[in-house]
Amino acid sequence: MKMFPKTILLFVFLSIQSFSQNSTPYLYHNNTNNWSGTGISGTYRSLGEPNWIFTFQAGSTMDNYYKFYNQSTNSDGGDFNSPGGSNVWSSGLTVNNNSRGTVFDYGDGNGSAGFFSITSGKYYTIIFKDVNTSSNSDAFVLETSNQPVTITSVSNNFSTRGTGNNGTVTITISSSKSGEEKIFVRYTTDGWSTSTFVEASGSGTSYTAIIPDAVLTAYNGNDEFYVLTTTIASPTHADADMMTINLNNNSGSNYQLPVQLTNFVARGKGKTIELKWNTATETNNAGFEIERKQHAQWTKVAFLDGHGTSSTPHEYSYSEKWLLPGKYLYRLKQIDRDGKFEYSQQSEATVGLSEDDFALSQNYPNPFNPSTTFTYAVKERQHVEIKVFNLIGQEVAVLVKGSIEPNRLHTVQFDGSTLSSGVYFYSLRTPNRNEIRKLMLMK
């Protein structure tokens, strides 16, 4: 039988008959070569695989021995080496650092202690599987040079998902981490039946990780992620909870991708443009602001309420009528209930002319100083005159006079730098039609 020194880490854990979070485990350790020590309570974590976690700093370099005890205190006279009665030790099996091993062999009675090597000054995080039935329990022992860090904040930017661009997760940690400690984003696309790990890169307290665009595009309502720290270089789905030192999972609800647009289409029909889009799921969605681009500037044209948080698909539509001929760009500004927002992809649509139409837009900007622009179009080739008049009908400028190319949008600029401030009118005249609009010069 192997003899071992008396400097021991002693874990008073859970009930041998039924491991449960109702029995508070304790970690006993000191550097005085005996079994006794100061109790340090563990923390219970109700993750996918519930567990208890302890972290301590080694005071010496040695093989650190441990055993399980079935209560939070020893009622058998304080003899931690040979407890009697029903409060017996389970068998402790050897656990190597940074790997999983069995540490509780159910039914083995007062077995021998297990051990793992420790180095003075380093930190050790021990994570025990919480066994709720009469069965064995496993553990990870994770070694770090410094006190393990915590993840203080997590944010993401998925505003360009589905467009060939990856999503970025931004992570802030409490302090600079040790070299052994790694930061991972763990995400799922099937409700955690499977998961994928992406290691974050960075320095100091700021790190980022990339979620591929293909994952964002395929979002189906079961996509979530959270951030964790570990010393394991290649984490696996099966061991994820047992090898996690610290995590940030959005207060237990994980981080979800925001509203997922499955399509956004703008189509021109006569003088009307129809917008349609769908969502696969929505999270905290206040609604959609519809924006149209004219004269190199985006303008809000409408707002449609969202469905808050929903895991079912929804269809939206909006029509903008009596538009001038030409090409128009549209985008959606999806706004969360907490004020955060993101933009959709842009969609383009064209408005044409009917058989005998001509069109004249309102000038932009209006009021103006000293120049402004407007657009016009005619269906057929014909003589066109565009003139500017003052309030008493006097002609102050001739901007267009002659035959123009039909069925396309033309742009005209009017310079009022030589005129006085006030109200003016401009007109588009053809042999059959005359259109007049008002403009204001404000110096």
Q: How confident is the model at residue 357 (pLDDT cuts 50, 70, 90)?
A: low
* Rg, Å, the chain Cα set: 36
Q: What is the pLDDT of residues 187-238, one digit of tens each?
A: 988 889 999 999 999 999 999 999 887 776 665 667 789 999 999 999 999 9
At 260, which amino acid appears? Q
**Residue 88 in tokens:** 């017996």
Phi, psi (5° rounding) for residue 410?
-115, 145
C-alpha atoms less than 13 angstroms from C-alpha of 129 in its C-beta half-sphere: 22
Q: Is the CB of residue 195 less than 8 Å from the CB of residue 187?
A: yes
Comparison of pLDDT for 215 and 383, the residue scoring more = 383
User: Could you tell me which residues come within 8 angstroms of residue 26 by beta carbon, excluding any fewer than 6 positions away?
Assistant: 10, 11, 12, 39, 40, 41, 42, 72, 73
Tell me if the pTM is above 0.75.
no
For residues 327-346, give the mean pLDDT: 86
Question: What percentage of the chain reaches a pLDDT higher than 90?
Answer: 35
CA distance 185 to 198: 5
Query: Whole-angstrom distance between the N-terminal and C-terminal Cα of the chain?
Result: 100
For residues 394-411, give the mean pLDDT: 87
- Report helix, strand and coil shares of the chain as percent, to nearest 5: 0, 50, 50
Burial bucket for residue 28 (CB in 10 Å: 0-12, 13-18, 19+): buried
Q: Which CATH superfamily is domain 358-441 in?
A: Macroglobulin (MG2) domain (2.60.40.1930)
CA distance 212 to 196: 11
Class of domain 261-351 as given by CATH: mainly beta
C-alpha atoms less than 13 angstroms from C-alpha of 64 in its C-beta half-sphere: 28
Q: Which segment of 42-51, 86-95, 97-106, 248-257 scores lowest on mean pLDDT?
A: 86-95
Q: Where in the chain is the domain with CATH 2.60.40.10?
A: 261-351
Q: Are strands 341-343 and 297-310 parallel, antiparallel or unpaired?
A: unpaired
Q: Where in the chain is the domain with CATH 2.60.40.1930?
A: 358-441
DSSP at 90: P
For residues 236-247, give the mean pLDDT: 94
Residue 87 has pLDDT above 60, yes or no: no
Identify the architecture of domain 151-256 in CATH.
Answer: Sandwich (2.60)
